[in-house]
Amino acid sequence: MMCYITKYNLVVRFGNKDLAKYPFLKEAFSYITKYDFKLEDLDSKDYLHLIYKAAEKIENYLFFGRYEYQINYSKTHETIVQEEVIIFLISLLLIKSISIDAVTKKFALLESMRFEKYLISDLNTADRDDKTIKLILYKIFEDLFSTKILLEVDVYNFYKIRINDYLDHPIAFQEKEWNLINRTLHNGFVYLDGNEIVRLFRNELYLLIIDRIKKMSIDRIPDTIMAISKSIKSRWEQMHPSINAPVYNAVTPPCIQHIYDQISKGENLPHPARLLLGTFLIYSNKTLEEMLELFKRLPDFDEKITRYQLEHLAGKRGNSKRYFVPSCEKIKLENLCYETKICQGISNPTQLIRKKLDI
């Protein structure tokens, strides 16, 4: 990476190896636009190996939850960047043509987690000083999110964002820990540590990828890409039939139904929602395998971790303490309550399983 000052602006340029890791940057896209690359070119056999590599990456994301994608650094630097940008574009095309919201969201999450891994590695590289770290973040956030990230020079590994810029990002209104009331504020800035900056990057990139896919307007998708996308779509639909609310023949609590709806749409659940769902399923006498079948629909599903957490909630791990379904009061505090008229007179969602209602 190099940096220089013009009369009016700070100009930051990545090296080719950096650009290959961040193919969504404008500077990376310039490597294919200068050769007048067009989508129709993907019909050529010259691009088959890139189409297959993008398809393999997507299949690993969707069906195995893996994002151990490897960049081939054995070619010339310029070729590496060109190929990674084209693979990224092909990936977006494949997801667009599959046209399933849950697939789009799972792809966006795991793709953003892959880039997050690169960013963590870059920020932790021992031979990079604070100035270089600042430039990496400055370039990425300004290019992608029109946000300036500043390094707090007086406190190691802390960064700051102007409050108005921070409030432009959806994460500021999501989980409670990101609300302004729970942040450190000083002189018009919001302060974040290194881990939080990386999480902000992942969250914003996740939303950006989804937005780019949804806004893609393409007259014709190349035949090879269409054929592969149909195959992936068919496999996904076979593995993910519609969700049936896994409770008794009773009323499903609105807070639980909302979680089912989120899962059906491919949304990723925050920790409090996972805790609520897990304890409710345990209360509903669901087997571990039945619960795993539901949780595996989450974009970041990890069977080993999920199995352990569910067994822990059920009192089969750790101190053998069984966790109970949170009260309605606690659910409201976590912004997970979606109260309707059937909730009148209850203090815990489990009461609806036994309550007889005239609706």
pLDDT at 68: 81
The yes-or-no verdict on residue 97 having pLDDT over 60 is yes
Q: How do 158-162 and 189-193 pair as beta strands?
A: antiparallel
- Contact between 310 and 332 under an 8 Å Cβ cutoff? The reply is no
> Using one digit for the tens of pLDDT, what is the confidence trace for 230-268?
999 999 999 887 766 554 445 789 999 999 999 988 888
* Of 127 and 24, the one with more pLDDT: 24
Q: State the pLDDT at residue 210.
A: 94
The pLDDT of residue 241:
79
pLDDT of 49 above 90: yes
Q: Is residue 8 over pLDDT 60?
A: no
Mean pLDDT of 340-352: 90
Q: Tell me the pTM.
A: 0.78
pLDDT digits (tens, 9 = 90+) for 104-138: 999 999 999 999 998 888 877 645 555 666 677 77
How far apart CA 323 and CA 312 sit, in angstroms, is 8
User: How many C-beta atoms lie closer than 10 Å to residue 156's C-beta?
Assistant: 10
**Domain regions of the chain by residue span:** 2-145+194-232, 254-354
User: Is residue 266 helix, strand or coil?
Assistant: coil
Mean pLDDT of the chain: 84
Mean pLDDT of 315-340: 90
pLDDT at 217: 86
Q: Beta-carbon neighbour count of residue 339 at 10 Å? A: 14
SS3 250: coil
% the chain with pLDDT above 90: 41
Lowest average pLDDT, out of 12-16, 126-130, 148-152, 339-343, goes to 126-130
pLDDT in tens, 159-179: 889 999 888 887 766 777 888
Question: Pick the residue with more confidence: 50 or 246?
Answer: 50
Give me the pLDDT at residue 260, please: 92
DSSP 268: P
DSSP letter for 65, please: -
Residue 292 in this model has a pLDDT that exceeds 60: yes
Please, which contacts does 277-282 make with residues 24 or more away whose CB atoms are closer than 8 Å? Answer: 278/309, 278/310, 278/313, 278/323, 279/313, 279/323, 279/324, 279/325, 279/326, 280/247, 280/253, 280/256, 280/325, 280/349, 280/350, 281/246, 282/310, 282/313, 282/314, 282/322, 282/323
**What is the average pLDDT across 201-207?**
90
Q: How long, in residues, is the chain?
A: 359
- How high is the pLDDT of residue 4? 37
Residue 5 has pLDDT above 50, yes or no: no
Any idea which of 16-30, 285-299, 301-315, 321-335 has the lowest mean pLDDT? 16-30
pLDDT at 20: 87
Q: Residue 238: which of 58, 54, 62, 51 has the closest Cα?
A: 62
